[in-house]
Structure 1
Amino acid sequence: MAIHIMDAGAELFQNNPMSVICSIVCDHEQQCAGHCVLGKKGNPVHFSSIENYISDTYLDRMKLQIPEEKKKPVAVIGAGPAGLTVAIILAQHGYKVTIFEQQDKIGGITRYGIPEFRLPKSILDRLEKQILAMGIRIRPHTAIGTVLTIDDLFRDGYASVFVGTGVWKARNLGIPGECLANVHFGIDYLENPAAYDLGEKVAIIGMGNAAMDVARTALRNGALQVTLYARGTHVAANSHEMAYAELDGAQFVFGKAIERITETGPVFKTSVIDENNKVVGYEEGEDQVEADSTIIAISQGPRNRLIRTTVGLEGSDKGLLIVDENEMTTREGVFAAGDVVHGSKTVVHAVEQAKKAAVAMIAYMEKES
């Protein structure tokens, strides 16, 4: 019997409320397509394209059954993939959900860390309409841990709190020159590329997916020569993101270890690489590269304001929130999932953990009742 596209869309949404986003931005070659048995001898099924067509068609037409009688109020800190997933699941179970978001729009990393050419922001705007239709309230420009704290949320009657604040603090290299006017961090640049004047020649330190996004964005915003540098031979980005960056005109240089950055560009040492592609030392001398701007795009970590302002909330040595097997933090009633717990991963990983957290939150609040 044929399945109607709306039925298929409903099933995808119930399994993954971020399906329309994951079908575009996730690493399909490492996930669905990469595990397809047909790919062993030929071409795998293009699950992501099928999923995107169904989810996109369903997004504007879905009518979710939301209980009219509301249960306890719940606070969700952060409107990224993890926070939105928890909010949607709890709303569907009748909880009164308020999302506190420090930016003006929902989406988190999917809006402010992924370029428009990879993920159109109109998709997030359409998703927001459905979220509001579910009765979920959104407080923009409200960063918990500054004027308001988690303790304030509990004071005002929220039965539990979910933290999905992601990782927005750029990691520095700890080298001379990072404070110069021509040096920027990748996560900051992606948030608002129009605010930057990078010049014609741009050097990027790092070769992860974020670095590829930085390179492609710079080339679309006036840069004529963009080069990415790596200390060894390993590329952290997936192959198709690297291929797209190369097609856009980005260049790649391996075996260059950054030493410092000057007004004229980065200074490298040349790595000595053995037969196992491991860096075993460095050649004598330095290599000054001319660049109008240098962008550091190695990784991100979490901001620690929630830990600083919440009694009993503990983090790891990297600042990531510590959770138990039910995604509850060291502060009772406070749950967390996504990048703020596991570090920077894919959207689908955040959704997977957020679903687990939502189930645990429901069990916790029903037990408290």
Structure 2
Amino acid sequence: MTKHIIEEASRCLQCKKPQCSRGCPVSTPANLMIEALLAGDIRKAGAMLFENNPLSAVCSLICPHENFCEGHCVLGRKGAPVHVSAVEQYISRNYLEQYQPERPVNGNNGKRIAVVGSGPAGITMAFILAGQGFDVTLFESEELIGGVLQYGIPDFRLPKDILARLRDKLIGLGVKIRPNTMIGPVIGIDHLFADDYKVVFIGTGVWNPRPLRLKGESLGHVHYAIHYLKNPDVYALGKRVAIIGAGNVAMDVARTALRKGAREVTVLYRRGEDDISATRYEYDYAKLDGVRFRFYASPVEITDKGVVIMDTRVVEGEDGRSRVESVEGSESLFEADSVFIAVSQAPRSNLTGLEVGKTGLVITDEEGRTNRPGVFASGDVVTGAKTVAEAVNFSKRTAKAIIDYVSGLGD
């Protein structure tokens, strides 16, 4: 493994203007980390990655690298790009095993910050602010930290020991973690300010599935994808599974269902192969695992026996935009023992007093400031479902805005 990583790192051209970094949402210094690694200083390389992105060990596994770093590598123009993700993963995992955090002593000690939600945005925020000496409490509605990383991504894509190590590092920095605590129903934002929290940061992600409002959606064999991924073992799916939707969550559900005993898993999608929202990487791996796809099929109704679908076609309107229309008289039954709905998610509506848009997403400025002074937000709860790297990048900007805000409050 080590030999392979060194060989791959040695392929890096050490570009003066690295396109790989420019292609990464969080500007991972790929050329500099590789330079440090090849010079024999893996700890320096790891520290460089961690300081830039506390979730480097996660991003190196689950980001769409073909769109980010590797997709911009100049070697990829005529051949294979440097496998940046593999090098980054090797360095980041090594650093997490060695890194021993120490809480800094400075003027921010005693200034309380509440971080609500421990997904990518919350973890990033907690690391940055605790590293600045703030007294950070991380509120998590579930038992374990990680949010979508813990409860929305299968183990075969993201080993959960990484999250356990991140938890240990947070505690080492002095972060207090309060599990099984959903802010809103019992403890609200007002209660947090009353207890002298200077800032409340919202990073709760998107956990409410978007329903299709089809007839039959409440039947017992119908499930929402995001719920299934939290604990697949409690579901009895049968042998034939249908999934409505073709995003990354749908791919995760399909691949997990096959691993849990389903014999046949089919993704139903109303457009064609080129229009799916899942990354090419996830789509290719789903096909490799045996997931089937039926394109140009739109659900009409869910019955006890499966999904009634209609054939579709994509037509171009007078405005130049394409739209999907159903083919009259093409109804048929796609038989399935279980049906999943995987057509995006929205935030929970447990927080009050914050301005939200029509879809429930929290409205902020580019630095994460909400309509309420002292309350900031970033990540999926603001942008909708995005990549981890994009959530980290947004949260880094918001952390700077929070630090500036607290500094302006004085002592």
Q: TM class, shorter-chain normalised?
A: over 0.9
Q: What is the match of residue 15 of structure 2?
A: none
**3-state SS of paired residue (1:306):** coil
Q: What is the match of residue 196 of structure 1?
A: 235
8 Å CA contact 2:310–2:326 kept in 1: the answer is no
Q: What is the match of residue 48 of structure 1?
A: 85
Counterpart-to-counterpart distance in 2, 1:240 and 1:108: 23
**3-state SS of paired residue (1:289):** strand
Alpha-carbon shift at residue 261 of structure 1 (Å) = 0.2
Write the mapping of 1:336-355 to structure 2, written as runs, cut at 5 A.
336-355=377-396
Counterpart-to-counterpart distance in 1, 2:362 and 2:77: 39
Are residue 28 (structure 1) and residue 65 (structure 2) matched? yes
Counterpart-to-counterpart distance in 2, 1:173 and 1:222: 27
Q: What is the match of residue 324 of structure 1?
A: 365
Deviations 1:20-54 (A, max 9, x none): 00000111111111111111111111111111000
Q: What is the match of residue 142 of structure 2?
A: 103
Alpha-carbon shift at residue 210 of structure 1 (Å) = 0.5
- Match among 331, 336, 343 for residue 286 of structure 1: 331
Once the two structures are overlaid, the 10-residue window that deviates more, 109-118 or 239-248, is 239-248
Counterpart-to-counterpart distance in 1, 2:166 and 2:63: 18
8 Å CA contact 1:232–1:277 kept in 2: the answer is no
Are residue 205 (structure 1) and residue 250 (structure 2) matched? no
Once the two structures are overlaid, the 10-residue window that deviates more, 322-331 or 103-112, is 322-331
8 Å CA contact 2:369–2:377 kept in 1: the answer is yes
Are residue 258 (structure 1) and residue 299 (structure 2) matched? yes
**3-state SS of paired residue (2:309):** strand
Deviations 1:133-174 (A, max 9, x none): 111000000000011001100000100010000000000101
Counterpart-to-counterpart distance in 1, 2:323 and 2:185: 44
Counterpart-to-counterpart distance in 1, 2:367 and 2:80: 39
Alpha-carbon shift at residue 68 of structure 1 (Å) = 3.0
Are residue 139 (structure 1) and residue 174 (structure 2) matched? no
Deviations 1:47-90 (A, max 9, x none): 11111000000002113342135140100000001001011000
Counterpart-to-counterpart distance in 2, 1:64 and 1:162: 23
Deviations 1:207-251 (A, max 9, x none): 111000000000011100000010011211111111111111110
8 Å CA contact 2:114–2:138 kept in 1: the answer is yes
- Match among 287, 294, 305 for residue 350 of structure 2: 305
Q: What is the match of residue 171 of structure 1?
A: 210
Q: What is the match of residue 340 of structure 2?
A: 295
Change (3 A) 1:302 1:158: same
Are residue 154 (structure 1) and residue 193 (structure 2) matched? yes
TM-score, with structure 2 as normaliser: 0.87
Counterpart-to-counterpart distance in 2, 1:274 and 1:199: 37
Write the mapping of 1:207-226 to structure 2, written as runs, cut at 5 A.
207-226=246-265
Counterpart-to-counterpart distance in 1, 2:207 and 2:127: 23
Q: Which runs of 5+ in 1 are unaligned?
A: none
8 Å CA contact 1:73–1:159 kept in 2: the answer is yes
The one-letter code matched in structure 2 to 1:297 is A
- Match among 307, 311, 324 for residue 270 of structure 1: 311
Counterpart-to-counterpart distance in 2, 1:207 and 1:114: 16
Deviations 1:97-135 (A, max 9, x none): 000000000100001000011101111111111111111
Q: What is the match of residue 399 of structure 2?
A: 358
- Match among 16, 31, 36 for residue 53 of structure 2: 16
The structure 1 segments of at least 4 consecutive aligned residues displaced by more than 3 Å after TM superposition are 273-278
Deviations 1:166-201 (A, max 9, x none): 000000101101100010000000011011000000
Counterpart-to-counterpart distance in 2, 1:280 and 1:85: 43
**3-state SS of paired residue (1:107):** coil
Deviations 1:253-303 (A, max 9, x none): 000011010010011011023489753442323111110000001110101
**3-state SS of paired residue (2:267):** strand
8 Å CA contact 1:232–1:278 kept in 2: the answer is no
Are residue 231 (structure 1) and residue 270 (structure 2) matched? yes
What RMSD over aligned residues (CA atoms) do the two structures have, in Å? 1.4
Counterpart-to-counterpart distance in 1, 2:367 and 2:246: 34
TM-score, with structure 1 as normaliser: 0.96
8 Å CA contact 1:204–1:226 kept in 2: the answer is yes
The one-letter code matched in structure 2 to 1:18 is L
Q: What is the match of residue 182 of structure 1?
A: 221
- Match among 108, 131, 147 for residue 92 of structure 1: 131
Q: What is the match of residue 81 of structure 1?
A: 120
Once the two structures are overlaid, the 10-residue window that deviates more, 264-273 or 217-226, is 264-273
Are residue 249 (structure 1) and residue 249 (structure 2) matched? no
